[in-house]
Amino acid sequence: MSELFDRVDALIASRSPLPPPVERKRLRQAHGFTLDEVAEALMVRRATVSAWESGKTEPRPPERDAYARMLTKLAELYPADPNSAAPAEDTAVPESFANALAPAPEARTLSTGPASEAAAMTDSEKTQPCPAANSAAPAAAPRPARSARSASTSRRPGARKAAPANSPAGGTDPRFEYGPLAVVDVDVHGQVLAYCVGGLVLEVPAKSLPSLVEWTLKEAKLGQPKLSGPGKDADPLLVLTEAALERYGLPVALTDEERLAGRIPEGHKVVKQLARGEWRLTQRGFGPWARIYRPAQGSERNCVQLCIPSWHALDSRHWGQAGQLPPAELARVLGVYASRVMTPRGSTAVTGLELMTALHPPTRASEPDADGRRHSEHNPGSLGKDPVDCAPCEAPDGHPLLKDLPRFHVRGPGEKLFEEAYDWARPMTDAECTLRYLVGIDVNMAFAAGANGLVVGLGAPTHVKVPVFDPKLPGSWLVDLSHVDLSRVKVGKEWVELDGSLLPSPFTPKGERPQGPAWYATPTVAYAVELGYDVTPIEAYVRYDNGRYLDAWYNRLRDAYLATMADLGVHADLSPADFLAAMDGYKERDPQLAVTVSAIKATVKGGLGKLRERPRGDGWKPGQPWRALSRPTWRPDIRAAVISRTRINLHRKIVKHAAFTGQYPVAILSDCVVYAANGTSPLDFLPYRDGKPLPGAFKLGINPGLVKHEGTQSVLWGEEVRERFNAPELNLARYIKDGTVTDVDNGE
């Protein structure tokens, strides 16, 4: 009998009433206790007490009873002032949280399939958030009833503050009340928790992966509304920590063989569990970015995506150390990205490509026919649902269009469109060697700026012999531009004399002057005309069906980038000096948001790179098609046009800067340009007058297309590096950021 009494006492202690979090902190501070003192008395960590006071977590037995006893004694010594009203946000119970306080109906059973266990629980145990963590309401509210099965093992289900308040909320769509994603983890007490965007933490009742998928679709209220009218809502994303992987029977890390295959074997027990539950996997199988689904029923999709950081789902080149962050912080990083870009669909490259489709879905519903029925039809302005063949000159090596070429044939400029970013450098002049510093400037989101307003082809190309060049018609043109002389060019309406030997050619990535006819994208040929020279194309592949397909994509990524940089203290309206000061150490102000900025920039470059995705194993041989060719978004012509315009935009600024100042770049790498100067700052060579830049030239600022300070090294450093490696034209732009020189032999 005494054992029963002890168990009853323990049960009562587990429900010891506690004041709201803000009151807990007030009472502790009123008596002069530090967090360390309270933690030592209760034999817990300092961070645990801090979490109780912030509302991130609630104390559990046996600490809960002792903590409640301490607060009760302190409340007797320091009663709250009845005349001081608490802030509205501390006492209000959000309407969306009202159900968490309601009495629970009788228990019901959830089943996720023949192979999954049935878990009996009351409606109150379904994942619903409690009132805001600092609200006084929960302490006074009656606790929901529990089923016999869960009463002794579960904590009060609901939501608790778990992330900074400035993380984005879940949105207004009631279907996706708790945001686009959740990070699933297991706490020290064995409870599975889902850390959501906006600081909510949901208790997860699922005991297996199939039931976790079922819970996500039916109870979790996760997902994201569609970005375009004809589009589709984003599927919920679950990020599984190592503890969650162990709980659900998955390996914490992939073997070398599994990593090469990109998935765990089809015979794995968890994959079999999913199959018995009638869940399917996509062709890429159960890998770092797995998609688990059942066929859609009407307009309702039944799909959940998994992200597994310990399987290298989050590339450290783009996401830094995000995969090692605590669950709440990881939810914040991914949540900011999801709310401002979109719910990740894979790598940043995959997401960048998927964003294009989400903003311009291939089909839409037609107007009602005579019977009042709607049908799927082509969505104007999109790439459609069927892939189109590229032009032979646009095809990369190994493409099926080139299968009849002789083996080991190397295509030259007259056979292959080669629009790539700059990789150019030259020896410094004697005058430049007398200066003290090399200063690098970098164009913000250069490729995004190159996509802004760009007219690209939407359909298949049309082959035209001896065409008349039209700068408004996207396509690929075979034309001889070797006659363009950079020593005398038009800048605006005026002809100017320049030292052409100190300038890279705008027509080749290496900056070399063309030697004869070559294939170019429309922006490159149009720039030759802008410089004042006639062009006579020999032939072309043009696209009469065209439009500004990338505008919405650019706008979304630009807004995401600017909003996140503003959160880091770098605003678009800063003066040049203030901008440079704000950029100094901006990543340290909030490392998590800095990771999001990196991911946004990688989304731009990766998404454009995916437009010409190359074969990736699978036993591919030259001349055979590969998987990416079946996508309507496999469009090497669009990628070439964006890169062409980006390179031309940069060259235009370089020419205007040279015409106005007489200064020429020493090295260029993609979107980074290096100049010799007498000072360490870009302001020491950029021609600002009364705080205003030269129109059309380089301008400091955070907007895409404007420039920031990339790095400064001494001229002596540059000369010493080139002499050490016996490379007078070593591209110093590659190393200007921190001065560390690596991989010189292979030029990488």
Residue 55: what pLDDT? 79
Prediction pTM value: 0.78
Give kind and range of the element (H or E) at residue 184. Answer: strand 181-186
pLDDT tens per residue, range 626-670: 999 999 999 999 999 999 999 999 999 999 999 999 999 999 999
Beta carbons of 437 and 678 less than 8 angstroms apart: yes
- How much is the average pLDDT of 537-550? 97
First to last CA, the chain: 77
User: Which of 111-115, 519-523, 558-562, 623-627 comes out lowest in average pLDDT?
Assistant: 111-115
- How much is the average pLDDT of 387-402? 95
- How much is the average pLDDT of 709-725? 95
How many Cβ atoms from other residues are within 10 Å of residue 239's Cβ? 26
- Please determine, for residue 105, whether its predicted confidence score (pLDDT) is greater than 70: no
Residue 9: what pLDDT? 62
Residue 107: what pLDDT? 29
Check residues 613 and 169 and name the one with the higher pLDDT: 613
pLDDT tens per residue, range 86-100: 333 333 333 332 332
Check residues 598 and 55 and name the one with the higher pLDDT: 598
Report the candidate in 405, 408, 397, 404 with the shortest Cα–Cα distance to residue 614: 397
Residue 22: what pLDDT? 84
Residue 14: what pLDDT? 56
How many Cβ atoms from other residues are within 10 Å of residue 720's Cβ? 12
How many Cβ atoms from other residues are within 10 Å of residue 729's Cβ? 11
Sign of CA dihedral 354, 356, 362, 368: positive
User: Which of 76-85, 242-251, 344-353, 686-695 comes out lowest in average pLDDT?
Assistant: 76-85
Report the candidate in 741, 742, 748, 681 with the shortest Cα–Cα distance to residue 710: 681
- Please determine, for residue 129, whether its predicted confidence score (pLDDT) is greater than 90: no
pLDDT tens per residue, range 63-80: 888 888 888 888 888 887
- Please determine, for residue 348, whether its predicted confidence score (pLDDT) is greater than 80: yes
Residue 2: what pLDDT? 58
Residue 132: what pLDDT? 35
- Please determine, for residue 151, whether its predicted confidence score (pLDDT) is greater than 80: no
Beta bridge partner(s), residue 478: 519, 539
Residue 81: what pLDDT? 66
Residue 393: what pLDDT? 97
In this structure, what token pair is assigned to residue 746?
A: 């292979």
Q: pLDDT band at 31, cuts 50/70/90?
A: confident
Residue 496: what pLDDT? 95
CA distance 40 to 46: 8
CA distance 10 to 60: 11
Residue 1: what pLDDT? 54
- Please determine, for residue 112, whether its predicted confidence score (pLDDT) is greater than 60: no
Amino acid (one-letter) located at 507: F
Q: Which residues fall within 8 angstroms of residue 735, CB to CB, at 6 or more apart?
A: 713, 721, 741, 742
Residue 626: what pLDDT? 94
- How much is the average pLDDT of 168-192? 85
pLDDT tens per residue, range 571-627: 999 999 999 999 999 999 999 999 999 999 999 999 999 999 999 877 899 999 999
CA distance 221 to 236: 8
- How much is the average pLDDT of 267-284? 94
- Please determine, for residue 154, whether its predicted confidence score (pLDDT) is greater than 90: no
| Average of per-residue pLDDT values in the chain | 85
CA distance 553 to 34: 51
Check residues 369 and 678 and name the one with the higher pLDDT: 678
3-state SS assignment for residue 476: strand
3-state SS assignment for residue 711: strand
Report phi then psi at 287, rounded to 5: -120, -160
Residue 36: what pLDDT? 79
Domain ranges of the chain: 1-83, 104-343
CA distance 531 to 492: 9
CA distance 466 to 480: 13
Q: Which residues fall within 8 angstroms of residue 738, CB to CB, at 6 or more apart?
A: 711
Match domain 1-83 to its CATH number in 1.10.3720.10, 1.10.260.40, 3.40.50.620, 3.40.50.1400. 1.10.260.40
pLDDT tens per residue, range 187-232: 999 999 999 998 899 999 999 999 999 999 999 999 999 999 899 9
Report the candidate in 175, 185, 186 with the shortest Cα–Cα distance to residue 222: 175
Residue 375: what pLDDT? 86
Residue 5: what pLDDT? 58
Q: pLDDT band at 499, cuts 50/70/90?
A: very high
- How much is the average pLDDT of 672-697? 92
Beta carbons of 622 and 409 less than 8 angstroms apart: no
Cα–Cα distances (Å) from 565 to 335, 593, 701, in that order, read: 16, 8, 11
Give kind and range of the element (H or E) at residue 457. Answer: strand 456-457
